[in-house]
A and B are shown apart, each in its own frame.
Chain A
């Protein structure tokens, strides 16, 4: 940045004479930028959404940076872009995002006649400013050549650190105070004690819930579908092994039926349990005993379970 700031004055005064008289280039720049700036400023006044207002203000600020450089205030032009558009407006946009982008002005007047009073005061201010600017007598412009003799940033640095050094110190204190103030103002006091890992574990033990993960659904070696409840060592289905969503929807498979099938298989009969005449262990057709009857399993359960 310093290289840019130091290199700029060598180039610029030849293009836009920052002297007492304005050059044609500066005039053209002014007449291009001034209407844009006024329009953007009016946008700030009339645009409905706050984000658009922020964009309008950014346009005004960048145009102002151009005008500063054209007037020989190169350092201020750079600071305008870096501090104003770069830092302050980005802070505005951050807060806008925090508060909610969609928030737009309400048109309900809470104070009666406030709108008209505001317009009146605004127009009054325009009249006053116009009167002051019109009647004031300005001396003949001197120009910045002499003041910017050893480049604009160097001249400003000499002034800041000699005549204005006390103001500089005060401004430093002000910045520190502002930073602290922002920290204090946005600090939120904790209303409930903080819950760490330790507290959460204690809470779980006190509650008497499962400390380990919940059992997985499915009766292994026969079904691993999500809707079939797992069995505990005594053969009773464990309700909590089926996902909550399936239980709420009522898509859970009939636990008793599956438990009974296991019993039947263990007793050496067909899983379907439609007769006692089925020979145990080996089948004449070579079919395995206890092999799940797929059609039956599918018919017995809901459609959601895929691989039975």
Chain B
């Protein structure tokens, strides 16, 4: 087994995450899709780190994790405040600026 398998797996996970962002309506599930994409990227970084024999890729993956944590905190706070005013977590319902 070559290390390409890990890259293919990361590509599959990334595509599924992107499709989730595009197709799902629930804002929280959309957020989970973003998380899945970030995770797939981390797998890619770890694999490249192994291919090149350097730890820089893992450090980058670590920073990705930290930024993802910050992003989730702010994103979920936005979702909660939208839910408070609109009583809905569906991304389609946030169309107050339309028309």
Binding site for B on A (CB under 8 A): 18, 22, 26-27, 30, 34, 37-38, 41-42, 44-45, 50, 53-54, 57, 60-61, 64, 67-68, 71-73, 75-76, 79-80, 83-84, 87-88, 91-92, 95-96, 98-100, 103-106, 108, 110-111, 115, 117-119, 121-122, 125-126, 129-130, 132-133, 138-139, 141-144, 146-148, 152, 155-156, 159-160, 163-164, 167, 171, 174-175, 177-179, 181-182, 185-186, 188
Contact = CB atoms under 8 A, between A and B. Distances in A.
Contact of A73 (B15, B46, B71): B46
Contact of A133 (B8, B71, B77): B8
A122 B79 contact: no
A144 B51 CA distance: 8
A156 B19 contact: no
Contacts of B69: 83, 87-88, 175, 178
Nearest to B15: A126
Nearest to A67: B43
Given A60-B13, A91-B76, A68 B65 contact: no
Given A122-B23, A175-B66, A143 B53 contact: yes
B9 A118 contact: no
The majority secondary structure among interface residues of chain B is helix
B97 to A, nearest CB: 14
Contacts of A186: 77, 80-81
A50 B66 CA distance: 24
A121 B33 CA distance: 15
Interface string B3-20: 111111101111111111
A286 to B, nearest CB: 74
B90 A105 contact: yes
Contacts of B26: 50, 103-105
- How large, as a class, is the contact surface on chain B? 35 or more
B29 to A, nearest CB: 5
Given A138-B3, A138-B51, A156-B58, A38 B18 contact: no
12 contacts: A22-B1, A30-B9, A44-B16, A53-B32, A71-B47, A75-B58, A92-B32, A106-B92, A129-B14, A146-B53, A155-B55, A171-B63
Contact of A142 (B35, B46, B51): B51
B50 A185 contact: no
Interface in B73-98: 73-74, 76-81, 83-84, 89-90, 92, 95
Contacts of B12: 38, 41, 126
Interface of B: 1-9, 11-20, 22-26, 28-29, 31-33, 35-36, 39, 42-43, 46-47, 49-56, 58-59, 61-63, 65-74, 76-81, 83-84, 89-90, 92, 95
B29 A156 contact: no
Contacts of A115: 23
Contacts of B95: 110
A105 B24 contact: yes
Contacts of B51: 138-139, 141-142
A30 B6 contact: yes
